[in-house]
Amino acid sequence: EIVVDDPARPHTGRVALVTGAAQGIGASMAAVLARDGAHVVCADVPAQGEALARVANHVGGSTLHLDVTAEGAPQALVDHLRERHGGVDVVVHNAGITRDKTLAGMDDARWDAVLEVNLVSQERLDEALLDADLLRPGGRIVGVSSIGGIAGNRGQTNYGASKAGVIGRVEALADELADRDATSNAVAPGFIETAMTERMPVGVREAGRRMNSLNQGGRPVDVAEAVSWLADVRSGAVNGQVVRVCGQSLL
Ligand code: NAI
């Protein structure tokens, strides 16, 4: 007998946290996860409050003002999820920043800021959630890496290190999570058209588009669809993997 799950709204009844959800790829993730049935807790820095409220409203989710690097962030997250939802099923570590400079200008402040937001915060938040036993069975942790953490971009030693770190982290965590009937995976997007890439010099942007086998920038929703699949209970046999998104077959 062949048994298949009903694919319609596979996240029904599940709670998904998306960090950096106020715009760009995170906002698309919130929309796709909500479309697929999840209640989405949309988290971002307080300064993004208005944009965040718009996204949460649009997807029928809720907001959480959370700077992932703030000292009290892990506890605030634990308190919020425990009180409002009793736990969490999907955690998407999407918050990310760039502070590009070639090596001569790469001061400690740029290095530390990027490592803190893009990598270290993921460890602190996951640790707090697991310690508090809030990740429910069937739980999914998805780290957002980057092709820049696999191939490396000029001027991004800090960013590349942080995004390569995300891959090492989800791979190491996979084994621990298997004991909890949960998984950790990462997506590594290529060049996606958002505010982050809009800030890049024109030549770098054009090179980014050419790196994509489709010869154009990817869309935030392309990444969001892959994340929704990794967040799905049906992807339970996929653990400790990195899904490259956006036709980077030229690498
Ligand atoms: P974006 O700059 O448009 O959005 C990033 C969001 O993260 C913003 O809403 C920002 O407020 C939030 N954020 C920043 N610091 C935060 C903090 N300390 N706490 C909570 N939220 C914080 O960027 P985009 O392009 O949407 O990127 C999303 C993720 O995808 C990032 O991790 C980025 O590194 C990654 N990525 C993006 C690619 C691209 O081509 N756009 C390619 C590969 C990866």
Query: What ipTM, to 2 d.p.?
Result: 0.99
Tokens of 132: 């508090």
What pLDDT is stored for residue 248 in this prediction? 56
Q: Which SS3 state, helix, strand or coil, does residue 139 take?
A: strand
Residue 45 has pLDDT above 60, yes or no: yes
Give the mean model confidence (pLDDT) for residues 21-48.
98
Per-residue pLDDT averaged across 143-160, rounded? 94
* For residues 147-174, average pLDDT: 95
Ligand 1 lined by 223 (C-beta under 6 Å): no
Q: What is the predicted pLDDT for the residue at 210? A: 87
**Nearest residue by C-alpha to atom 6 in ligand 1:** 20
**Residues in CB range of 132: below 8 A, 6 or more apart:** 78, 82
List Cα–Cα distances, 22 to 10, 50, 163, 170, 201, in angstroms. Answer: 24, 8, 21, 24, 24
**What is the distance in A from the centroid of ligand 1 to the CA of 20?**
6
The residue among 216 and 45 whose pLDDT is bigger is 45
> In the predicted model, what is the mean pLDDT of residues 137-144?
98
Whole-number Å distance, alpha carbon 144 to ligand 1 midpoint, is 9
Closest to 176 in 3D by CA, of 217, 135, 145, 146: 135
Tally of helices (H runs) and strands (E runs) in the chain:
9, 7
Ligand 1, atom 28, residue with closest C-alpha? 25
Give the pLDDT score at 138. Answer: 96
pLDDT > 70 fraction of the chain, expressed in percent and rounded: 98
Tokens of 102: 């070639």
Predicted local confidence at residue 158, as pLDDT: 98
Predicted confidence band of residue 48 (pLDDT cuts 50, 70, 90): very high
194 Cβ closer than 6 Å to some ligand 1 atom = yes
Query: What value does the mean pLDDT take over residues 53-71?
Result: 98
Query: Where residue 249 falls among pLDDT bands split at 50, 70, 90?
Result: low
**Candidate of 18, 42, 112, 196 to mutate for ligand 1, largest count of ligand atoms within 8 Å of Cβ:** 196
Q: pLDDT for 109-125, tens place per residue?
A: 999 999 999 999 999 99
Q: Angle 157-178/108-115 helices, nearest 10 degrees?
A: 30
How far, in Å, is the centroid of ligand 1 from the Cα of 50? 17
Give yes or no: 159 in active site: yes
Give the Cβ contact number of residue 214 at 10 Å. 13
What does the mean pLDDT of the chain come to?
94
Q: DSSP per residue over 6-35, as a string?
A: --SSTTTT-EEEEESTTSHHHHHHHHHHHH
Flag whether pLDDT at 230 surpasses 70.
yes
pLDDT of amino acid 224:
97
pTM above 0.90, yes or no: yes
Query: How would residue 55 be classed by pLDDT, with cut points 50, 70 and 90?
Result: very high
